[in-house]
């Protein structure tokens, strides 16, 4: 759960900003501020954050891990 900084997010930001009658930069600022306040790591996820988890799980270091769920969300959700 939460935003991941991708090209698709940029399109979503543009559309949301237009609906609210503000600039995309203003809306982006709101998203960044919200993420800083509501995510323990204080930032929006990057695609590389997800890729790093995928690479780890596909690698030898994760060879004894089975049936788990991993949240790549900067601490927004944890068990």
Number of domains in the chain: 1
pLDDT in tens, the chain (79 residues): 578 888 899 999 999 999 999 999 999 999 999 888 988 998 999 999 999 999 999 999 999 999 898 989 898 887 6
- What CA–CA distance (Å, rounded) separates 7 from 57? 25
Report if residue 11 sits inside a domain.
yes
Q: Identify whether 8 is part of a domain.
A: yes
Owning domain of residue 52: 4-62
- Residue 1's pLDDT is 54
Q: Is position 32 within any domain?
A: yes
- CB within 8 A of 16, min separation 6: which ones? 27
Whole-structure pTM value = 0.76
pLDDT at 36: 86
């Amino acid at each position: 759960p939460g935003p991941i900084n991708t090209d698709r997010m940029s399109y979503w930001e543009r559309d949301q900003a237009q609906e609210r009658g503000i600039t995309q930069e203003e809306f982006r600022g709101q998203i960044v501020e919200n993420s800083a306040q509501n995510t323990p790591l204080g930032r929006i996820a990057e695609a590389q954050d997800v890729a790093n988890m995928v690479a780890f799980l596909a690698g030898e270091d994760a060879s004894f891990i089975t049936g788990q769920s991993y949240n790549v969300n900067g601490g927004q959700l944890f068990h």
